[in-house]
């Protein structure tokens, strides 16, 4: 989970933001590259840390993410993490992965937050997802 003290105040879903310009798109591509490269696994990842890695102002990073995705940084990052969790749960070469391991491997600080975000994002708990074979 992202440390709330490091976040700018944000709504769960943003009102229609301005269309991204080329600068937004370039910054967002850099952000995606960092996240895809494993940065999402950092449980203490904050908007401020990401801004430092991209040498940008946190407010601008937040705006670029929201303009390119229509979501807050926190929502976008958590959805990314859940997609990775679903991918890992769906990996037939990894059938015995524990939910706790999965939570920490995808960047969540604790099992409770992981469960809540997983269920909110997918409509089913990670345990039910795994148990019901939805990953096959």
Assigned CATH class of 77-131: mainly alpha
Apex CA 59: angle with CA 19 and CA 16, to 5°?
30
Cβ 34 vs Cβ 24: under 8 Å? no
Residue 43: Cβ-neighbour burial (10 angstroms; 0-12, 13-18, 19+): middle
* Mean pLDDT score of the chain: 87
Per-residue model confidence (pLDDT) at position 75: 96
| pTM of full prediction above 0.85 | no
| Residue ranges per structural domain of the chain | 19-70, 77-131
Which pair of tokens denotes residue 120? 């909110």
CA dist 115 and 100 (Å) reads: 10
Per-residue pLDDT reduced to its tens digit, 8-62: 444 445 455 579 889 999 999 999 999 999 999 999 999 999 999 999 999 999 9
Per-residue model confidence (pLDDT) at position 8: 40
pLDDT higher than threshold 90 for residue 102: yes
């Amino acid at each position: 989970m992202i440390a709330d003290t490091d976040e700018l105040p944000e709504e769960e879903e943003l009102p229609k933001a301005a269309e991204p310009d080329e600068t937004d798109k370039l910054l967002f591509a850099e952000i995606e590259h960092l996240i895809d490269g494993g940065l999402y696994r950092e449980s203490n990842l904050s908007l401020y840390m990401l801004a430092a890695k991209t040498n940008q102002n946190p407010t601008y990073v937040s705006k670029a993410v929201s303009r390119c995705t229509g979501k807050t940084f926190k929502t976008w990052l958590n959805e990314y993490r859940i997609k990775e969790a679903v991918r890992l749960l769906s990996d037939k070469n990894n059938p015995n992965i524990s939910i706790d391991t999965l939570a920490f491997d995808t960047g969540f600080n604790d099992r409770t937050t992981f469960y809540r975000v997983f269920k909110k994002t997918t409509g089913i708990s990670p345990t039910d997802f795994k148990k019901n074979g939805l990953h096959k």
